[in-house]
Structure 1
Amino acid sequence: MSNEHAAEMPPLDLASAAQMWDDYRQSCASDPGDYVVEYFGDSPALADSLLREVTHGQKHATSSLENEYLAENEPLPQVGSHWIACDGTGTPQVILRTSEVTLRSFDQVDAEFAYAEGEDDRSLASWRREHEKFWKRTQQADFAKQWEPAITSIPGERIVCESFEVVWPRKQI
C-alpha cells in the first residue's frame, strides 16, 4: 500500500447495487434489512486487489478507523449488516454480511485477525506495517493530522475489526 494507491475513486454504480440487492433480497427467507455500498481501499487498483482476495483468496475480514464513521456520521458495522463491495470501476461485485465486529487499539489486533484479512503474507508484522502506512496516508489527507498507532486506545480513534462472509452471489456447489 504505497502512495501510488492514493488515486481518485470513480463513482459507485448505485443503480446496479440496488439491482444486486433486490436479487439477493428476493432469495432470502426474511428481509435482510439495509445495506451500504463501498470499496475496499482508497484507489481503483487497491479496490480491485482487495476484492480479488475476497472472491478468489482468503480475505474474510477488514479493518477501518472508528473516526472515519464518526466523520461521516455513519453507524459502525453491526453483526448481520450487509454491504455491497465494488471493484475499482465502482461496479458492484459481491454482497458481504458482517459476522463479527470488535473495536481494538492497534496493539490489540492479533495474528489471527491479521491472518483473516488475507493480505500480503498474512502475518501480524505485515498487517501492522501496511495498515500503519495506509492510515497515515489517508488520515493525514482526510483529517489534516498525522495518524499514530498510540491514538487508537482513545474512544473515537479505535480500529474497527470486521469479519464477514460473502452471501451473494451464492457459490455454485
Structure 2
Amino acid sequence: MNSPQASRPLAAPDQDAARSLWEQYAQVHPAAASASPDFLVDQFGDHAELADELLDLVRSGRKTATASLLAEYVWEGEAPPGIGAHTVFCDGDGAPRVIVRTTGLALAGFTDVDADHAWAEGESDRSLAHWRTEHRRFWERVCTSAGRSFTPEMEVLMERFEVVWSDAEA
C-alpha cells in the first residue's frame, strides 16, 4: 500500500458497467447469484494508483483478504459485508474488473491484526510490520478526510474473499 505521491484521484465506479458484469456472472452462476442477489460496488484504496495496484494483486491471486475500519461503515451509513456477500471491485478509473465473494470475517483491534491476515492481504513483503505501517498511513488519511482521528484502538474488520468472476471471463 503506497502513499499517494503524485496520485490520480479515484474515478467514481461505473455503476452501469458493474451491473452488467454482475448480470454476466449471474447468468453463468444463477444459484450463487440468487443466494446473495445484492452486491456492493467498491474500490480498494484512496487513489487510483493504489486501487489499481491492489486490484492487480487480487487478479493475480496473491491478495485474498482486505481490511476496513469498522468505524468507516458507521461514518458512511453502510452495513459491513456478510459472509457470502458479493462485491464488484473497480479499478482506479472506475471500470469493474472482478467480483469477489466474502468467505470470512473477523474483528480485531488494529494492534491485534495478525501476521496471517497481513500475509493474505498480499502486499509488498507480506509482513505484519509492513501491513501495520502502510495501513496506519492509509487509515490516518481516511480518518483525516472524514474529520476524525485514527487511533490504534479502532476496530478493524478483516475480510477474506475469493474471486468468483472477472472481466476476463465476460
| Aligned-pair Cα RMSD in Å | 1.8
Q: Distance in 1 between matches of 2:24 and 2:122?
A: 28
Q: Does residue 145 in structure 1 map to residue 148 in structure 2?
A: yes
Cα 1:99–1:50, aligned 2, differ >3 Å: closer, same or farther?
same
- Are 2:158 and 1:164 aligned? no
Q: Partners in 1 of 2:88 and 2:11 — Cα distance?
A: 15
What residue is the counterpart of 1:155 in the other structure?
A: none
Q: Which consecutive residues of structure 1, in runs of 5 or more, have no partner in the other structure?
A: 153-157
Q: How does 1:89-128 map to 2 (within 5 A)?
A: 89-128=93-132
Structure 1 distance, partners of 2:20, 2:168, is 19
TM-score for both structures, normalised by structure 1: 0.89
Residue of structure 1 in register with 2:65 after alignment: 61
Structure 2 gap segments, 5+ residues each: none
Tell whether the 8 Å contact from 1:3 to 1:137 is kept in structure 2 after alignment: no
1:60 & 1:171 partners in 2: Cα distance?
18
Identity %: 41
Could you tell me the TM-score, scaled by structure 2's length? 0.91
Counterparts of 1:129 and 1:169, CA distance in 2 = 30
Number of aligned pairs? 165
Tell me if the contact between 1:65 and 1:159 (Cα under 8 Å) persists in the aligned partners.
Answer: yes
Contact 1:12-1:90 within 8 A present in 2 as well: yes
Q: Letter of the aligned partner of 1:162 in structure 2? A: E
- Alpha carbons of structure 1 residues 66 and 124: separation in structure 2 relative to 1, 3 Å: same
